[in-house]
Chains A and B, each alone.
Chain A
Amino acid sequence: MRRLILILLFLQIALILTGCFDRKELEEQAYVISIGVDKTERDNIFRFTFEIANPEVGSSVSNVSTKEPAQEVVSVLGTDFLSATSTANTSVAKEITLDQVRVVIFSEKLARSKEFIHVIQSAPSTVDLKLNAQMVISKEKAEDFIRHNKPRLESRPHKYFQYMLDRARETGVIPDAPLVRFFQITEGDADLFIAPFASTAREPTDKYGAEDNYKAGEIDINGGNPTQFIGSAVFKEGQMIDTLTGEETRYTLMLDTTLPQQDILATYKDPLRPDFEISAKVQIDKAKVSIDYKKRGRSVIDVHVNAHLNVFAIPSTEDYMLDPRKRRILYASIEKQMYNKTTEMVKKSQEKYKAEPFYWSLHIRKEFLTIKDYEKADWSNKIFPNADVHLHIDVKSIEFGKTLRQSNIGKVRD
């Protein structure tokens, strides 16, 4: 009996003494908000850039604001996320934690190289790094991207990324690309993965590309933060192969049944006055994809997309609201415009990429009894590139916002 009590007592002591091994006080940790990864001259050695948030900035309304900067950027060489973290800790006093990483930025150069798959492989095994962090591809070096990104209105860096990515995702010009989706698609080995494309280097092009026919860096913005999030990087088998413009990204997302988009702002040609444009908020229902798989010959893919428009601006002052005939023209014209753009995108993926970024392999998997059969049928190389894709785009409704009738230009100019 006495022995039992003694053993229990010792067990308790063990509990108390070992109790604090995993304990970390909050203020003793440095929270990394974003990680940048760059290629170096040497193979399989990368430059990791950590952007660490300063908790004291913008945390309290009443406290006197400190003169410290909102973030600290440290960049070190390393082979994987964890070893780089410990190297960076030689200059950062607090323990660097990757718990709160929101964005992992890879440079385009690294993404296009064969080493990319090696560095990203260490992400899932890094315990701290959460796989719902967003993957972003930067046009320039990731380190430069992080150093140049200077949000003016958000005093904390994570806020900028959070708002920026959320907003851009809603408008559909960049895709939702958590790290876990990269692994899902790459290991599925049937589809293309697209990740947001961003840049802090402004190289405005002369052309006016409506509101979203741009890639990152091309938009002519004066003032503000140089960072632009638009367009996407296309990955095939874990390696970047191309970039899409914002518009192409939007049509890609429209056909994808796994990614929701909420309110897209888009402009369309005015059918009656082709020199004017109509801008509208478009709500797109989840696409319906059905694949008629034929073992021999071309499979048929039917895609149904329903759209609801809320027209904001009709600069041509054509009266679409009250005139049913004109309205029918408008419906037909918008459907046609959407159809053409989408078809272009599908054609591009069939002919140029020989694989699709719409995650349609999900819809053919059910045709096969075993994984072996599915792999043998070879969706990405055999079925999709030769398939007949029928797009059915249907504009279900058009609303005209708050105005009930157009102002009569003739009378105004009278």
Chain B
Amino acid sequence: MFPWQKQKTEAIEKRKARKISKNLKDNVKYIEEQYSYGLNYDFESRTIQGPSGRYHLFFYSTTVDTKQLSDHIVAPLLEMKKDIPVDRIVSVPNISPITNMGDVEKGLNDGSVIIFKQGIAEGFEVNLQDFKHRAVEKAENEKTVKGPKESFTESLPTNISMLRKKIPSKDLIAENISVGTRPAVPVTLIYERDLANEKVLENIKNRISSITVDNIRNIEILEQFIEERPRSLFPTLLYTERPDNVSNFVSEGYIAIMMDNSSSCLIAPITIWSFFHSPEDRYLRWAFANFSRLIRALAYFITLFVSATYVAVTNYHSQLIPIDLLLAIASSRERVPLPIIFEVLLMEIAFELIREAGVRIPSPLGPTIGIVGALILGQAAVEANIVSPIVVIIVALSGLSSFAAANYSINHTLRISRFIFIVAASFYGLLSLLGAILLWAAYVVSISSFGVSYFSPATPSTKSSHDTFFRMILKKERWRPGFINPKDWDKK
């Protein structure tokens, strides 16, 4: 450890271990100094002179419920004539005695009220938190037509309450592990005690507790700290904002990772199939759900391969194209100055620009994107002989298909992989395209998420609910996913 770091840690330890003094004045002076009383406009330090003694309250006026404070703390203290312990005077559900300054600081930071009494070397932490957060709203990024509509919000208690409502069971555990130092914040693991695999749980806990960083404020940052291959194109944690989706996963034996200030949560361990499944696949009836899966599967193949195949076939294998199409392409390309590969890349990049701009643009300007995108890049580019019409069709098709992906993370994977394939196809045509696909597939199969193979249960093959490519009729599903080795495999 570096000397300056050592000094810092020692100072912090010393501060934390300081005992609460019997002398109220000492305590008040120390806390007011620590919390820059007077400078911090919302930090309140109030003395209450009641009949039973002299009390002092510390709290942030912005984080506590002031109505409860005056009704259940200030009023009883002022009225109580007998000298009895504080925890018997105040009428709040959540009060705990504390003895050192470390706990005082922690309580204040969490938004509690701290009560000191003259002559007692002990304080009380009263939990009256009232942090502001968004109400529960409709899911924005993972929409379904059929199924629950609510989504997580940026408050952990609200989110857990939504989960408890869905899984009312004593086996649903919400365990806290703290991460970071400035300040340490809790990460909550949600799992079913009688299902989740111990080894996986241990693995996740180890990875979280081995993080050495000053702070992690939300789940999106945490994801990048605990994943196995941060540079990989493939996400190994499922990011979802739907409580119903999370409860489905948790009741299969998966583990959910949540944090305050995140309107989503992470599911681990995960396989590639989960990214392609939508919660609606289970809510829809069997035939409809499988039809929707089929369409999505088609969309993935289109988005990955249609542009690459076009490049390969037109450049190297023109005999594969029916002659009418061939002549149509040749005639439309006669006045186009760019080689096919650059033509396709140009349009693909233009599409990515529209997409990126569409995400960032302030919503009042949104419609502009449509006009610019459709007119300028589509029609005008063709009329100006910059690109040929068929390329516009192909790029639009592959762009549109990429948004059929059920999950936002895998959407990026597909879109970036598409460029790899296009470039590969331009080297040796289908030969190099197939080579690239082979390497790509070999890489994907080699990935694992918290010890679970990325392609299971397809390979290695394990017992599962057979919900990989298409799903079965729900009544016939028997097994929980065997690849995460839950404590109880049998659903029935």
A134 to B319, CA, bound (A): 16
Task: Pick the residue among A19, A24, A55, A128 that contacts B334 (CB under 8 A).
Answer: A55
Task: Pick the residue among B324, B333, B426, B432 that contacts A27 (CB under 8 A).
Answer: B333
**Knowing A25-B340, A26-B329, A26-B340 touch, does A97 contact B318 (C-beta < 8 A)?**
yes
B331 within 8 A of A: yes
B327 within 8 A of A: yes
Most chain B beta-carbon contacts within 10 A, residue among A31, A33, A59, A97: A59
Nearest Cβ distance between residue B87 and chain A, in whole angstroms?
67
Query: Using Cβ atoms and an 8 Å threshold, which residues of chain A touch B331?
Result: 27, 55-56, 59-60
Contact (Cβ within 8 A) B318 A23: no
Contact (Cβ within 8 A) A59 B340: no
Nearest Cβ distance between residue A18 and chain B, in whole angstroms?
9
Query: Using Cβ atoms and an 8 Å threshold, which residues of chain B touch A20?
Result: 426-427
A236 within 8 A of B: no
Contact (Cβ within 8 A) A19 B427: yes
A151 to B339, CA, bound (A): 34
Nearest Cβ distance between residue B82 and chain A, in whole angstroms?
81
Contact (Cβ within 8 A) A22 B333: no
Contact (Cβ within 8 A) A26 B427: no
Most chain B beta-carbon contacts within 10 A, residue among A23, A24, A29, A159: A23
Query: Using Cβ atoms and an 8 Å threshold, which residues of chain B touch A27?
Result: 330-331, 333-334, 336
Contact (Cβ within 8 A) A53 B318: no
Return the 9 tightest CB-CB contacts between A and B, nearest first. A55-B331, A99-B319, A59-B331, A55-B330, A19-B427, A55-B327, A27-B333, A56-B331, A26-B330
A215 within 8 A of B: no
Q: CB-defined interface of A33-63 with B at 8 Å, one 1/0 digit per residue?
A: 1000000000000000000010110011000
A55 to B329, CA, bound (A): 8
A308 within 8 A of B: no
Contact (Cβ within 8 A) A59 B427: no
A130 to B324, CA, bound (A): 17
Task: Pick the residue among B319, B334, B428 that contacts A130 (CB under 8 A).
Answer: B319
Nearest Cβ distance between residue A403 and chain B, in whole angstroms?
39
**Knowing A55-B334, A60-B331 touch, does A158 contact B319 (C-beta < 8 A)?**
no
A369 within 8 A of B: no
A33 to B323, CA, bound (A): 9
Sample of 10 further A-B pairs with CB below 8 A, known A19-B428, A23-B429:
A19-B427, A22-B428, A23-B426, A25-B315, A26-B314, A31-B326, A55-B328, A55-B334, A59-B331, A128-B319
A59 to B332, CA, bound (A): 8
21 A-B Cβ contacts within 8 A? Answer: A15-B427, A19-B428, A22-B428, A22-B429, A23-B316, A23-B426, A23-B429, A25-B315, A26-B326, A26-B329, A26-B340, A27-B330, A29-B330, A31-B323, A31-B326, A59-B332, A60-B328, A60-B331, A60-B332, A100-B323, A128-B319
Query: Using Cβ atoms and an 8 Å threshold, which residues of chain B touch A100?
Result: 319, 323, 326
A64 to B324, CA, bound (A): 18
Nearest Cβ distance between residue A199 and chain B, in whole angstroms?
25
Q: CB-defined interface of A80-107 with B at 8 Å, one 1/0 digit per residue?
A: 0000000000000000010110100000
- The number of chain B residues with a CB under 8 A from chain A is 24
A156 within 8 A of B: yes
- Cβ-closest chain A residue relative to B432: A19
- Cβ-closest chain A residue relative to B431: A22
Query: Using Cβ atoms and an 8 Å threshold, which residues of chain A touch B323?
Result: 31, 33, 53, 100, 102, 158
A124 to B65, CA, bound (A): 90
B positions within 8 Å CB-CB of A: 314-316, 318-319, 323-324, 326-334, 336, 339-340, 426-429, 432
Query: Using Cβ atoms and an 8 Å threshold, which residues of chain B touch A23?
Result: 315-316, 426, 429
Nearest Cβ distance between residue A174 and chain B, in whole angstroms?
21
A346 to B224, CA, bound (A): 82
- Cβ-closest chain B residue relative to A16: B427
Interface of chain A, main secondary structure: loop
A positions within 8 Å CB-CB of B: 15-16, 19-20, 22-27, 29, 31, 33, 53, 55-56, 59-60, 97, 99-100, 102, 128, 130, 156, 158-159
A100 to B330, CA, bound (A): 13
Nearest Cβ distance between residue A151 and chain B, in whole angstroms?
15
Most chain A beta-carbon contacts within 10 A, residue among B332, B339, B429, B432: B332
Nearest Cβ distance between residue A153 and chain B, in whole angstroms?
16
Query: Using Cβ atoms and an 8 Å threshold, which residues of chain A touch B336?
Result: 27
Query: Using Cβ atoms and an 8 Å threshold, which residues of chain A touch B319?
Result: 99-100, 128, 130
Nearest Cβ distance between residue B29 and chain A, in whole angstroms?
64
A191 to B182, CA, bound (A): 92
Query: Using Cβ atoms and an 8 Å threshold, which residues of chain B touch A130?
Result: 319
A156 to B328, CA, bound (A): 11
- Cβ-closest chain A residue relative to B319: A99
A229 to B339, CA, bound (A): 41
Nearest Cβ distance between residue A154 and chain B, in whole angstroms?
11
A401 to B416, CA, bound (A): 61
Query: Using Cβ atoms and an 8 Å threshold, which residues of chain A touch B324?
Result: 156, 158-159
Contact (Cβ within 8 A) B327 A156: yes
Task: Pick the residue among B316, B327, B334, B428 that contacts A31 (CB under 8 A).
Answer: B327
A29 to B314, CA, bound (A): 11
- Cβ-closest chain B residue relative to A15: B427
A259 to B427, CA, bound (A): 42
Nearest Cβ distance between residue B334 and chain A, in whole angstroms?
5
A363 to B135, CA, bound (A): 82
A31 to B329, CA, bound (A): 12
Task: Pick the residue among A19, A26, A56, A102 that contacts B318 (CB under 8 A).
Answer: A26
**Knowing A25-B339, A158-B323 touch, does A56 contact B334 (C-beta < 8 A)?**
yes
Nearest Cβ distance between residue B152 and chain A, in whole angstroms?
45
- Cβ-closest chain A residue relative to B336: A27
**Knowing A56-B334, A59-B327, A59-B331 touch, does A24 contact B315 (C-beta < 8 A)?**
yes
Query: Using Cβ atoms and an 8 Å threshold, which residues of chain B touch A33?
Result: 323
A99 to B330, CA, bound (A): 14
Nearest Cβ distance between residue B328 and chain A, in whole angstroms?
5
Query: Using Cβ atoms and an 8 Å threshold, which residues of chain A touch B340?
Result: 25-26
Contact (Cβ within 8 A) A53 B328: no
Contact (Cβ within 8 A) B327 A25: no
- Cβ-closest chain A residue relative to B320: A99
Nearest Cβ distance between residue A25 and chain B, in whole angstroms?
6
A26 to B338, CA, bound (A): 12
A156 to B322, CA, bound (A): 14
Nearest Cβ distance between residue B119 and chain A, in whole angstroms?
72
Most chain B beta-carbon contacts within 10 A, residue among A15, A25, A53, A128: A25
Nearest Cβ distance between residue B312 and chain A, in whole angstroms?
10
**Knowing A15-B427, A27-B334, A99-B318 touch, does A59 contact B328 (C-beta < 8 A)?**
yes
A255 to B134, CA, bound (A): 83
Query: Using Cβ atoms and an 8 Å threshold, which residues of chain A touch B328?
Result: 55, 59-60
Contact (Cβ within 8 A) A53 B327: yes
- Cβ-closest chain B residue relative to A130: B319
A170 to B328, CA, bound (A): 28
A187 to B302, CA, bound (A): 45
Contact (Cβ within 8 A) A24 B318: yes
Contact (Cβ within 8 A) B332 A31: no
Nearest Cβ distance between residue B54 and chain A, in whole angstroms?
74
Nearest Cβ distance between residue A269 and chain B, in whole angstroms?
43
Contact (Cβ within 8 A) A19 B426: yes
Contact (Cβ within 8 A) B318 A29: yes
- Cβ-closest chain A residue relative to B334: A27
- Cβ-closest chain A residue relative to B426: A19
Query: Using Cβ atoms and an 8 Å threshold, which residues of chain A touch B428?
Result: 19, 22
Nearest Cβ distance between residue B329 and chain A, in whole angstroms?
6
Query: Using Cβ atoms and an 8 Å threshold, which residues of chain A touch B314?
Result: 25-26
A33 to B326, CA, bound (A): 12
Nearest Cβ distance between residue B251 and chain A, in whole angstroms?
48
Query: Using Cβ atoms and an 8 Å threshold, which residues of chain B touch A59?
Result: 327-328, 331-332
